[in-house]
């Protein structure tokens, strides 16, 4: 019960995140077409590489399903993390993709847009519908229903593979942003102080006073850092100073 409550608390907290993915699911194919094709035809390999990269290539931090499943920490990850990750991405591919997604969302406070939620929800609904048709076809024995269930199963598998490939491409693009591969990101500047005046009021001449600093800035001090999604400085300060490892280079 405690684990379930903790999971529900994390899901509730994730709904309050304010940052957005660098690209949504609909734009992933255009954002990185080669990687999207790679993730579609070799999803487990992409999932393995993405999880390792999400851990800053430090496999000593690896936990099965990123700590989001009851089996996490009970699979001997500390002894052979590479083999455990290999097993996870092939036997629990869907969970491996979702776990990497939750890791990135919790690390960077990224919310899932309504469009992304609709796409993921459609994928789940289609899978459930295909399962229901398969059960009905097995009970009734109708050839028409059996054929419809096979069509739905193929369609749901295709949608599943496509959505997972788009999700993994979304994760890859987000980590490219994290690692500075897009260059320095623009930071929102603090606007200068505005004064109320009539439209016909002339600008008063200078009478020897030094120019006033911008709003929120005092003499001798640099302008404060704008808050929001940082352009660099990953991983966040919540991680120990050892992460990323000292050999990590951008």
User: pLDDT per position in the chain (250 positions), as tens?
Assistant: 555 566 667 667 777 788 999 998 989 999 999 999 999 999 999 999 999 999 999 999 999 988 878 777 778 788 899 999 999 999 999 999 999 999 999 899 998 888 888 998 999 899 899 889 888 888 888 788 888 888 989 999 999 999 999 999 999 999 999 988 876 665 544 444 444 334 344 444 444 444 544 444 444 445 544 444 454 444 554 444 444 555 444 4
- 235 located within any domain: no
- 105 located within any domain: yes
Q: CB of 21 within 8 A of CB of 177?
A: no
- 157 located within any domain: yes
- 246 located within any domain: no
Q: CB of 21 within 8 A of CB of 117?
A: no
- 164 located within any domain: yes
- 161 located within any domain: yes
Give the count of domains, the chain.
1
What is the predicted pLDDT for the residue at 114? 85
What is the residue range of 153's domain? 2-178
- 190 located within any domain: no
What is the predicted pLDDT for the residue at 65? 87
pTM of the model as a whole: 0.67
- 104 located within any domain: yes
């Amino acid at each position: 019960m405690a684990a379930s409550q903790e999971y529900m608390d994390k899901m509730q907290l994730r709904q309050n995140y304010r940052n957005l993915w660098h690209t949504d699911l609909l734009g992933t194919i255009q954002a990185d077409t080669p990687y999207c094709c790679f993730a579609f035809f070799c999803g487990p390999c992409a999932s393995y590489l993405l999880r390792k990269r999400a851990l800053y290539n430090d496999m000593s931090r690896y936990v099965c399903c990123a700590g989001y499943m009851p089996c996490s920490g009970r699979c001997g990850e500390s002894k052979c993390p590479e083999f455990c990750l290999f097993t996870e991405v092939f036997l629990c591919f869907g969970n491996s993709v979702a776990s990497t997604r939750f890791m990135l969302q919790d690390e960077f406070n990224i919310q899932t847009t309504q469009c992304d939620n609709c796409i993921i929800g459609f994928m789940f609904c289609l899978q459930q519908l295909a399962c229901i048709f398969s059960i009905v076809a097995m009970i009734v024995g109708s050839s028409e229903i059996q054929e419809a269930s096979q069509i739905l199963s193929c369609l749901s598998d295709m949608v599943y593979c496509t959505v997972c490939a788009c999700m993994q491409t979304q994760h890859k693009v987000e980590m490219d942003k994290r690692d500075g591969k897009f260059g320095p990101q623009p930071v929102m500047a603090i606007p200068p102080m505005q004064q109320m005046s009539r439209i016909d009021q002339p600008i008063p001449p200078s009478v020897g006073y030094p120019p006033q600093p911008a709003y929120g800035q005092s003499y001798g001090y640099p302008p404060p850092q704008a808050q929001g999604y940082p352009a660099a400085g990953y991983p966040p300060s919540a991680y120990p100073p050892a992460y990323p490892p000292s050999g990590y280079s951008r």
